[in-house]
Amino acid sequence: MKKIYTLYLILVFFVAGFSQDYIDSLVNREKQIDKTRQHLIYEYRLPDWGYRQFYLNFSNSLGGQKRENQDVRRYNSNTNIHFAPYYILYSESEQKITSIEVILGTFFYHSVSENKNNSITSESILNQLRTDLNIDGSMSYFLTNDWFLSARTDNRLYFSESHDNDSYRTNGSSSSDRSVFITRDYDLSGRIGLGFGRLRNVTPVFRALRFNERLKDLKKQTGSPEELAELAAFFAQRSAYSETYDRATKYFYNNLPDKTIKILQNAQPWEIIYLDETWNEIIGNRLEGFDMDGGVSFDYEKNDNSDVYTTELFLLGLYLQQRYYHNICPSYQLGTNFYSSFSKSVNNNTPYNYLGKGKLQVENLWNLTDKVLTELDLGMESVFTSKEKWQRRDRYFSEITFRYFLENNISANLTASYNIYKNWPASVFFDYEDIQYNANYEDDKSWILQFSLTYFLERGLL
């Protein structure tokens, strides 16, 4: 296993040390990316687009039950109300990429239960109010063509208050009990840094190329490289239509570039449907480029449960991350990800004084045809802490995903993963992200194998 990761580390440094054209010439040989594709994939520029949503979600349910005879009476009713406003914003351009999502969920629950059995009567009234606020955001702002500022924050504020009133009556006497339980959870994190490089999502380019090939299958006029570049920039906005309109396809095709609309002006309905199936092809998530950024980070967690117990952790630290993706040929994409951080606790009575994280991942994507997609991920992840002594837990992982789809015939999906865990020392014990690591094993492994298959023996109209 270690030899495999060593080979991939050598590959990463090889990629960084040699020009992209040289690597392509070694790998492709007889499968050079033609000039049109090379221009589109390697020189693609993000269009200026975005969308915004602000909507309310409300739901309410009422329920009850009553059962009664001469000696027994049981009655209960409940009300459940959920109200949540959502605000979502996404914008993308060569200079800035911004993503913001704010969700404020409010839940109210009220229930009344009454039980009467001969001379004993009990009643319980429960009122519960919960509020859950999530604020997530990220931004990359380019100061020059290669240098950029990056910022990211993930925040969750949770509040719950429950009032439970119980009363009992029997033989002329009565008693009551009232309890209040309050929970407050705060989970805030963020980072800001300076970066170098460019990483672009070039999936729209592959969609445009496949769209063009389908035009060719229909004996339609195909687009020039310039028209394909314009089409790819428009395809990048597909998600905006899905998020903005209920009938997204209608508005999307109405706004196609003029030259594409001219080609399709006499198209039959079935031809439009055939072209729209471009979006159903499994091509994976295609990225192109390299970037690296680093800076300062913070994490704050607090849990308060009606003064029963309170935990608090405040970490300040530094982080560094690197991403590299390259489509060596139309059917193969290589990617590497590296992330590391080191933080120090700035408050007292914490599980650890120092926390470190590191992860190296190598991704391989093979898109053999529009019907076959294979992804292979290999990597290593490490978490280490220090209180009275240093402790570390490593995870070596591999995962393969295979998807095959043949229209009206077969659909197959396979996912397999294998993990090896190592602890230093063997008696490691610490808590991290609500997971308790207490593994005193010499051999610690896990694996998962999932397979699904749908095969049509017979399928047709009568």
Give the pLDDT score at 191.
96
* Domain limits for position 186: 58-200+287-330
Does some domain include residue 316? Answer: yes
Q: pLDDT (tens digit, 0 to 9) for every residue of the chain, 462 residues total?
A: 455 445 555 555 444 444 444 434 433 333 445 565 666 888 888 999 999 999 999 999 999 888 887 777 888 899 999 999 999 999 999 999 999 999 999 999 999 888 887 778 888 888 999 999 999 999 999 999 999 999 999 999 999 999 888 888 877 787 888 888 888 999 999 999 999 999 999 999 988 888 888 888 888 877 777 888 888 999 999 889 988 888 888 888 888 888 888 888 888 888 888 888 888 888 889 999 999 999 999 999 988 887 677 788 899 999 999 999 998 877 889 999 999 999 999 888 777 788 899 999 999 998 876 678 889 999 998 888 887 778 888 889 999 998 887 767 788 889 999 998 887 776 665 555 545 555 556 677 889 999 998 888 877 778
Residues 265 and 156 in one domain: no
C-alpha 13: how far from chain center:
28
How is residue 278 annotated by DSSP?
G
Residues 365 and 305 in one domain: no
Count how many Cα atoms sit within 13 Å of the Cα of residue 131 in the half-sphere of its side chain: 9
The domain tally of the chain equals 4
Residues 168 and 218 in one domain: no
Cα(200)–Cα(82) distance, integer angstroms = 39
Give the pLDDT score at 90.
95
Cα dihedral 421→314→316→158 (10° resolution) = 90
Residues 77 and 168 in one domain: yes
Q: Which residue has the tokens 């590299």?
A: 324
Residue 218 vs residues 153, 176, 222, 263, 273: alpha-carbon distances, Å: 48, 79, 10, 11, 12
Residues 3 and 85 in one domain: no
Give the pLDDT score at 215.
86
Residues 326 and 336 in one domain: no
458 in helix, strand or coil?
Answer: coil
Give the pLDDT score at 26.
36
Residues 312 and 270 in one domain: no
Give the pLDDT score at 440.
59
Does some domain include residue 432? Answer: yes
Residues 102 and 183 in one domain: yes
Other CB atoms within a 10 A radius of the CB of residue 142 amount to 16
Does some domain include residue 372? Answer: yes
